[in-house]
Amino acid sequence: MSHPAPLRFDGRTAVVTGAARGIGNAIAHGFAAGGATVVVADLDEAAAAAAAQEITSVGGKASSLGVDVTDEAQVDALVAHAGTVDILVNNAAITTTQVVEETDPEAWRRVLDVNLTGPFLCSRAVLPGMRERGYGKIVNIASVAAKRISFNAGASYTASKAGLVAFTRHLAYEAAPDGISVNAVCPGPVLTPMLAEMADEATLNARRKSVPRGRLATPEDQAEMVLYLASDRADMLCGQAVDVDGGALLGWYDTDTYFERRRAAR
């Protein structure tokens, strides 16, 4: 039985936001391994530089830039730094953990700014060049929280990711006639530094038990789907939000456990 050739991105430039660590870092490494020139963008400039150095040390092509995706001028500078942007992955995200009545309005706004306005600004900035060339791939990193709720994060995160899935659909409709594909990946529980900071071992074990596949996803699991959606093999996928969750959406937690997590995060 023959197998498809590995995905290749030779001659393409991929910009990945929030790429210094976690899912974004795995995505950046995946594109570089496939021959793309990668721009590692992250609010933490030093961490972005270190991540780019990791890629170049193993023969990949990468540069880095410190970027706040909520700042239009910085987003424009990112696009100018990259030059031609063939692939954009909107991965940068933050969260809060409080229940709604304990959530500070400024914290609410900041989460929506990073998680939803950031992808809007980055996408808007790359669209003219993509339209001119008649080619582009935009992949938004949403969450299974968009389709239900977040167990670990707060309502601001859930709302931002639901908005990102809706934005993905709308932008896909507008961009498809010009040869631009827009899709989203919805990770389930992923063993990233962010999750490790938010959850103790007992909670992580409970999360594992909730996943029919029997394990938490890795950043590399998410990167595999992102690379596929950014490849020419996925040309007929338009406005999709693909769950990469090991079946986690097939089950859920009881409300007592949900509020125990909230009380513990105070």
Per-residue confidence (pLDDT) for residue 54, from 0 to 100: 98
Per-residue confidence (pLDDT) for residue 1, from 0 to 100: 52
Per-residue confidence (pLDDT) for residue 3, from 0 to 100: 57
* Pairwise CA distance, residues 164 & 112, whole Å: 10
Active site residue 135: no
Whether residue 2 lies inside any domain: the answer is no
Whether residue 4 lies inside any domain: the answer is no
Per-residue confidence (pLDDT) for residue 254, from 0 to 100: 59
* Ranges in the chain, pLDDT < 50: none
> Residues for the chain: how many in total?
266
Strands (DSSP E) contained in the chain are 13-17, 37-42, 61-66, 87-90, 136-141, 180-187, 241-244
Per-residue confidence (pLDDT) for residue 58, from 0 to 100: 97
Per-residue confidence (pLDDT) for residue 152, from 0 to 100: 79
Whether residue 224 lies inside any domain: the answer is yes
Whether residue 211 lies inside any domain: the answer is yes
Q: Which domain holds residue 188?
A: 13-264
Which residue of the set 157, 173, 253, 258 is catalytic? 157
Could you tell me if 229 and 183 are in contact, meaning their C-beta atoms sit under 8 angstroms apart?
A: yes
Whether residue 184 lies inside any domain: the answer is yes
Q: How many domains, in total, are found in the chain?
A: 1
Per-residue confidence (pLDDT) for residue 21, from 0 to 100: 95
- Domain of 95, CATH number, reads 3.40.50.720
Whether residue 56 lies inside any domain: the answer is yes
Whether residue 110 lies inside any domain: the answer is yes
Per-residue confidence (pLDDT) for residue 9, from 0 to 100: 98
Q: What are phi and psi of 213, to 5 degrees?
A: -70, -10
Give the predicted TM-score (pTM) of the model. Answer: 0.91
Per-residue confidence (pLDDT) for residue 256, from 0 to 100: 66
Per-residue confidence (pLDDT) for residue 155, from 0 to 100: 94
The 10s digit of each residue's pLDDT in 209-224 is: 778 888 889 999 999 9
H-state helical runs in 58-200: 72-82, 105-112, 118-133, 155-175, 193-198
Whether residue 3 lies inside any domain: the answer is no
Per-residue confidence (pLDDT) for residue 255, from 0 to 100: 58
Per-residue confidence (pLDDT) for residue 91, from 0 to 100: 98
